[in-house]
Amino acid sequence: MAGRLLKVSCLATAVFTSSGFYLYNRRLDLNDLSVIRFGRAAATTAAISYDYLTAFKHVEYGTEEYWALKSKVHLRSAERLRDLCCANRGTFIKVGQHLGALDYLLPEEYTSTLKVLHSRAPQSSMEEIQQVIREDLGKELSELFVSFEEKPQGAASLAQVHKAVLHDGRTVAVKVQHPKVQRQSSKDIVVMEVPMIHWHLSTKRILTMEFAEGGQVNDRDYMKEHGINVNEISENLGKMYSEMIFVHGFVHCDPHPGNVLVRKCPQNRKTEIVLLDHGLYQVLQPDFRLDYCRLWQALIKSDISGVERYSRRLGAGDLYPLFACVLTARSWTAINAGISSAPVTHSEDVEIRTNAALYLPQISELLNRVPRQMLLLLKTNDLLRGIETTLQTRASSSSFINMSRCCIQAMARHKRSKAQSMRRCLQITLAESLNLWKLTMYELFLWVKGSSLVQWLTALLAFLH
């Protein structure tokens, strides 16, 4: 049993070991501290592994003492990982943020400990922030801002954000890169609507933007206080990412809770979702995106032959059942039964957590097989499932139905682009409308099936008979 627990811990630590080797192979420059970072990662991995191997030697499995000790070992290991992330910063914090969002997969001791990295990563001092602003903008804080809050709104892997007020009265968010972050960057920043950039107060290391109010997407207390419907947020988040992935193929790949805010629009009081940090996007290749659409359609329809066919086309090979489980965060039994109709149960969650530990070698092999753009989609899926778990909306089938709706629209758009006549375009559009109508009827059926009215009528009929 200790060996199995060790595998669970290595699900987290192996990632850091890989990062360490990567840094070690890329650069053996002591001035860049790669060797030191690798040494920290290796030492942390060794300490965690030794703890799991030795802690349970004299404790009988299944006793109260065993479960209490198991929780303590999980917590110690999680704290070691958190300290490693804080010490190595950069990519290590990104990985820690990802692990902290996997509520449905990792033990609670890990996720609760690593969640602090979503918005409270290691901070640069105010002196360091002032120095970066002085170097890049050539002025002191008082010359640029009426006020500049010393305590950051949030600190992430590469930068931290401070709330400030310009001399014209506008409130802004000033994102300042940590001084030790390397300046080089291989990609341009893609500017999107919300937030507005104040270019005269921005450089390669400083980004001054419109300040976006709101609470984190996993803050249920904030939503309750502001009258925000949790189920509506979960459903709209799923719709938004489904449309990005399946229809447009242009995907924000870092939706951890610190990067997703929710709020009531001041003008119309409608609920809004605000995406922050647009530094990590994936543009999906058309053929890949269409095969991914077809795979999800097969998963939703419980078309196992289709699941195998399109999983193989996406590189999973004979590991297609495992690929389907990793992609949906559902058990193979649930996939065969129909993920859009079978709700997530506690026993299934236990099965998923257990299998995650048992199949680590196969999972590692699978991740090495699939295209690199699939890795970012899997990361995105993990984070979205984690948010659903935190909001307690994961048992709902609405996310899969919304995926199906976007898949139908994406496939119809593709077919229309290949059509050679208006008649064929009309046929495709009519077929699309019919499939969307069928999906709406199915969604209505599931709603009626699960409504309290039907349960009451069923009980009444049973009583009368």
Among residues 51, 103, 219, 254, which one is catalytic? 254
Nearest to residue 219, comparing CAs of 390, 451, 74?
390
Confirm whether 103 is a catalytic residue.
Answer: no
Cα(404)–Cα(399) distance, rounded to whole angstroms? 9
Nearest to residue 269, comparing CAs of 231, 210, 221, 229?
229
Q: Kindly list the strands in the beta sheet with 260-264, ordered across the sheet, starting from the edge strand earlier in the chain.
A: 215-216, 260-264, 271-275
**Most distant CA pair in the chain, distance:** 84
Structure token digits, residue 155: 């600190």
* Residues annotated as part of the active site: 254
